[in-house]
Amino acid sequence: MKKILLTGVNGQVGHALQKKLFNYQVFALNREQLNLTDKDAIRQAVQTIQPDLIINPAAYTAVDKAESEAELAYAINATSPQILAEEAAKLNAVLIHFSTDYVYDGSKIADYVETDAVNPLSVYGKSKLAGEDAIRAVGLPHLILRTSWVYGAYGKNFLKTIIRLVSERDSLRIVADQFGAPTSSESIADAIVELLAVWQPQQEKQSGVYHFTNQGKTSWHGFSCAIVSEYNRLAKAKNGQLLKASVENIIAITTADYPTPAARPANSTLNNQKLKQTFNVSLPNWEQGLQQVMCSLE
Ligand SMILES: NC(=O)c1ccc[n+]([C@@H]2O[C@H](COP(=O)([O-])OP(=O)(O)OC[C@H]3O[C@@H](n4cnc5c(N)ncnc54)[C@H](OP(=O)(O)O)[C@@H]3O)[C@@H](O)[C@H]2O)c1
């Protein structure tokens, strides 16, 4: 697998991947170079580049906005992966695609495994599931990696928002009854590099869905407290400026206290054993992922 077509390179995961895939010939395309709502452009890009592997982290990721932009969300999250898969299949190429913890409804108490029933609560979750189904229907060798709560040093994300808000405000109210695993784009990219060294696409049994998250679980409130505490620890060590609010000023609230257009699962913690057992690949604990990202922040 030498020649890779990589989408969404201005996104969190796409950006991290572009930096780490230096041992491959990567054709990295941003939205201007390949708009995934343009079916002909997708076909043309794949036919021109003739990749051995397509990695597709591009997606419509605005979970709340998707409730009022379903057509666009489905075009990017369902139709474009289908066309990428169809074009890859014509070339005997293979596909790595990203999906989401939001394919589950969150009613399970324990961590989800890949064989659990899906039941997305939101348009975003439904559109991502439709993308998974479309890839499965094409039937080429593929990996669908369900990840969760993605953040990193690059891009817009929850971590950046918390740091900004805590720098401006005395206190913050954060939801404490939704549980999952914050997953850094850096951890994802590292694990993809490991995966590429061991995946044997011709082994049909390896194709399929894998949970692909940092280990452990927390709530958005727990994640926020960890961000602030780690930020202030590093600031103290560097004699830098502490954030305005501290962990004590992060107030736990319920989902009902913070209504959003899209419903989110109460528990979307994903068990990663299948990834470990099949490929001997695992992502670090979420706290470790956070420390790595915080150390790399400007
Ligand atoms: N973010 C999360 O919390 C999260 C959670 C679970 C699963 N995931 C999944 O993980 C994968 C990677 O997510 P991420 O966090 O890297 O997302 P992200 O930072 O939002 O990046 C998404 C990328 O997709 C691109 N894109 C959107 N519409 C496009 C279009 N019409 N044509 C071409 N490119 C388009 C965006 O381009 P622009 O830069 O031009 O906007 C952006 O570069 C996605 O499959 C996502 O569904 C993410």
What is the model's pLDDT at position 239?
Answer: 76
- Identify whether 221 is part of a domain: no
Residue 228 lies in a domain: no
CA-based end-to-end distance of the chain: 34
Whether residue 222 is contained in a domain is answered as: no
Ligand 1 site, residue 272, Cβ cutoff 6 A:
no
Pocket test for ligand 1, best of 31, 154, 161 (most atoms within 8 A of CB): 31
Range of the domain at 113: 3-156+183-214+270-287
Question: How many domains in the chain?
Answer: 1
232 is a domain residue: no
Q: Is residue 167 part of a domain?
A: no
Residue 112 Cβ < 6 Å to ligand 1: no
Can you give the pLDDT at residue 218? 98
Name the DSSP class of 241. P
Domain assignment present for residue 60? The answer is yes
Q: What is the DSSP letter of 247?
A: G
Regions of the chain with pLDDT less than 70: 1, 298
Residue nearest to atom 10 of ligand 1 (CA): 98
What's the pLDDT at 168? 87
- Whole-number pLDDT of residue 169: 87
Residue 124 a catalytic site member: yes
User: What separation in Å is there between the alpha carbon of 59 and the centre of ligand 1?
Assistant: 4
Sheet containing strand 94-100, edge to edge, reads 25-28, 3-6, 53-56, 94-100, 142-147, 208-211
- Which of 87, 123, 78 shows the shortest CA–CA distance to 103? 123
Catalytic option among 102, 104, 124, 154? 124
154 lines ligand 1 (CB under 6 A): no
Query: How much is the pLDDT for 298?
Result: 67
Instruction: Tell me the CATH number at 191.
Output: 3.40.50.720
Q: Measuring CA to CA, which residue among 126, 265, 146 is closest to residue 212?
A: 146
Q: Is residue 90 part of a domain?
A: yes
Establish if 25 belongs to a structural domain: yes
